Amino acid sequence: MNKNIQHLKLLGIFHYVCGAISLLFSSMFIGHLVIGILMIVSPETMASDGDAPPAFVGYLFAGIGGLFLLLGLALSACIIYSGRLLRNQKMHTFSFVVACVECIFMPFGTVLGIFTIIVLSKDSVKKLYGIEVDEETNDE
C-alpha cells in the first residue's frame, strides 16, 4: 500500500509540472487574441501600403485565439486539479479521464497519461480510492 501511495504522490507532482508547462504553452494564444482585437478596434494600425485588413480577419484571429486560450487554460486547470486529487486519493474517474486526455499532448502528456492510467488501473490503487474490485484478480 505504501508503494502505491508513493506512486500517486509522485504522479501528483508530475501533474503539477505538466499543468504548468501546459499553462505556459497555452498563453501563447494571448498574442493572437491581442492582434485580433487590434484589427477590430484599430484596423489602420495593421495597414500595409494603405490597405487595412478586412474586419473578419480580426474576428477570426480574436475568436480562434480566445478559443484556444480558454481551452488551454481549462485543460491546465484540470491537469493541476487532477494532481491534487491523485495526491489525496480522491475522484478516481476524473483523474483517469484527465490522464486519457493528456495522452494527446506529446511527449510529456503522453508519458504522464500512460503512467497515470497504469497506476490507476491497479486493483490495489482502486482499493485506496474505496472502489470495490474482484478478489479473484490480484496485481500487487
What pLDDT, in 10s, does the model give residues 114-130? 999 999 999 888 888 88
Q: Please give the average per-residue pLDDT across 11-17, as a whole number.
A: 94
Cα angle, residue 127 at apex, residues 94 and 102 outer, rounded to 5°: 30
Polymer length of the chain: 140
pLDDT for 12 beyond 60: yes
Identify the sign of the CA torsion 46, 51, 54, 60.
Answer: negative
Share of the chain above pLDDT 70, in %: 95
Instruction: Give just the sign of the alpha carbon dihedral 103, 23, 79, 75.
Output: negative
Q: How does residue 14 score in pLDDT terms, banded at 50, 70 and 90?
A: very high
pLDDT value, residue 49: 74
pLDDT reported for residue 139: 53
pTM of the predicted model, to two decimals? 0.83
